[in-house]
Amino acid sequence: MRTILILGCGNMGGAMLAGWLASGLPLKLTVVDPAVTEVPAEVRLLRQVPAERFDMVLLGIKPQLLREVAPTLAPLMTPDTVLLSILAGAELASLAGHFPLNGGIVRVMPNLAAAIGKSPIGLFGEGLSAETRTAVTELMEPLGTPEWLVREADLDAVTALAGSGPAFVYRFIEAVAMGGAALGLDPEQAQRLALSMVEGAAMLAAGSGEAPAELARRVVSPGGTTAAGLAVLDDGEALERLIAATLRAARDRGAGLAAEARSKS
């Protein structure tokens, strides 16, 4: 049974915890978080980091608390301990400075869909053994789709697309529902229809093996209603330009957070 310490169990840490519990993996899970009041019976909840050794430690604290927490946590890290970090802006070099004695450091970028095993998960680490990469991959697979990245800088793009992306999708759903209401539908009914439409389209895209562009083509009849709507989205590449600008802003903010963290370290 692999032992895992979750240090900081907020929204994202809680989603990963829920995903692991649902997976049935043989894990012994300990949560340390003074703000959490209740966890499932099979999880141990503590207020302070225990003087114990763990196979893996998941850092889910606020990034600004790293300097404060590191002195307490670092002595517990053995040469075989793997540190998993979901801290925005905390780069490997900074983490290694705080935790020099461990079996590997892996930056992890999931989203809240980890709770239901549907999260894209960006992973990056340097100098990891094949055994460590395999162990981390196996731990992440029940949470969604793990993707190892070639460059640490790519995590900013993954954060923008996969981490922040759900918020952009939710805004799209809201906009579609509002558009339906503007056409005369009852607002609550429009929202139900929008949710159902997006759910079905996403499931079909995930299971069909076809590219999204091909799926869109199949919906279109020449001169029909879908073609008329797509003509608006495609005019001047309006949708592509909007999404590109949205992701670029999120990516650049991620890079800015990393730069701010470096300046304070």
Length of the chain: 265
Pick the last residue of a domain from 107, 129, 152: 152
Same domain, yes or no: 137 and 9: yes
In a domain, 260, yes or no: no
- Tokens representing 127? 């100098």
Pick the last residue of a domain from 152, 175, 205: 152
Pick the last residue of a domain from 123, 152, 181: 152
Distance (Å, whole) CA 45 – CA 258: 31
Number of H helices, E strands in the chain: 10, 8
In a domain, 103, yes or no: yes
Domain count for the chain: 2
Same domain, yes or no: 199 and 240: yes
Could you report the per-residue pLDDT of 198-217, keeping only the tens digit for each? 999 999 999 999 999 999 99
- Tokens representing 58? 């998941």
Same domain, yes or no: 184 and 106: no
Mean pLDDT of 161-188: 96
* Residue 137 pLDDT exceeds 80: yes
Same domain, yes or no: 77 and 185: no
pLDDT class of 120 with cuts at 50, 70, 90? very high
Same domain, yes or no: 57 and 145: yes
What residue numbers bound the domain in which 190 lies?
165-255
CATH number at residue 44: 3.40.50.720
In a domain, 160, yes or no: no
pTM for this predicted structure: 0.88
In a domain, 18, yes or no: yes
Distance (Å, whole) CA 231 – CA 186: 26
The residues that bridge with 2 in the sheet, in sequence order, are 27
Q: How far is CA 93 from the centre of its chain?
A: 21
Same domain, yes or no: 118 and 81: yes
- Looking at residue 143, its pLDDT comes to 97
* Residue 102 pLDDT exceeds 90: no
CATH number at residue 200: 1.10.3730.10
